[in-house]
Amino acid sequence: MGSLRRACVAFVAAGALSACLAPQPVTRPSESPVASATATPTPIPTFTLLPETPTPSPTIPPTLAPTAPPRTPKPAPTNHDAGDKLIPYYFLTRGQFSIFPPTPQLDFDFASDVDGDAFFRGLTPVGQPIFTVREDFIMTPRTAYHEIGHAYEALLQRKDASVDWRAKYWAFRGFPGTWQEAAAQAATMTGMGQWIHQPQESWAEAFSVSMVGGGQEKTLDYGRTINPVATKAFFLSLLNGGG
């Protein structure tokens, strides 16, 4: 019995050892498949990066203001209805200043779309003052006597061109410098600024205020407020070359 057990133990031990020494299966990685010689390789796409081109902003054309149609001048009147309203003031002036001829010449009124209210246009060859008035202008004493004042200076000049009548006026008013210097300064200006500096307009404004008997000059007075009574006396004195 003892011999049999020892034999069994030896057998089992020998079998276990044999099992341990037997070669064990090895797990190997699968081999990569061999590509066929005729297989077409799958193309790999390529990409070319192009420089970015900025998208131009849309150009918006400027909005142009509509062109105004050319203005059609109003037709000039063929009457002097507005100018007729100056005649009463002319007769009142002639009653005090004998140098004025019996009647003036009235040109046709000018259209209402022309700048200005009234104009003295010089003397006729025989010495008649020429006036014209805007067709829609309502005559006022100040405007009438202003234009008649221009005519008065022209009549004095026609009477004796050797006298500097405007210089007499400038000295009477006590204005600075000479009227020629004021005229040169006015020539550098435009618009209303030029007008208020012009010596001939100052003369006409002073004549108008003196005939009306009051009011403020629209031209430059250099801080020397006009005296209507004294100024009228001055203008009357010029009839005899005084002043």
What does the pLDDT look like over 209-233, one tens digit per residue? 999 999 999 999 999 999 999 999 9
| Per-residue confidence (pLDDT) for residue 30, from 0 to 100 | 47
Name 119's bridge partners: 132
| Per-residue confidence (pLDDT) for residue 7, from 0 to 100 | 43
pTM: 0.71
Residue 148: burial class (beta carbons within 10 Å; 0-12, 13-18, 19+): buried
- Residue 241 backbone class (left: φ over 0; alpha: ψ -120 to 50; beta: rest): left
3-state secondary structure of 89: helix
| Per-residue confidence (pLDDT) for residue 69, from 0 to 100 | 73
| Per-residue confidence (pLDDT) for residue 17, from 0 to 100 | 42
Element (DSSP H or E) covering residue 114: none
Which stretches of the chain drop beneath a pLDDT of 50?
A: 1-5, 7-23, 26-30, 32-37
Name 123's bridge partners: 129
Q: Quick one: fold of 73-162?
A: Zincin-like (3.30.2010)
| Per-residue confidence (pLDDT) for residue 72, from 0 to 100 | 87
Contact 107, 128 (CB under 8 A): no
Domain spans in the chain, listed from the N-terminal domain onward: 73-162, 164-243
3-state secondary structure of 27: coil
Look at the alpha carbons of 174, 163, 193, 113 in this order and tell me if their dihedral is positive or negative.
positive
Q: How far apart are CA 177 and CA 241, in angstroms?
A: 22
User: What does the block give as tokens for 63?
Assistant: 């909005």
Contact 129, 157 (CB under 8 A): no
Q: Give the closest residue to 121 by CA, choosing from 91, 151, 94, 141.
A: 151
| Per-residue confidence (pLDDT) for residue 71, from 0 to 100 | 76
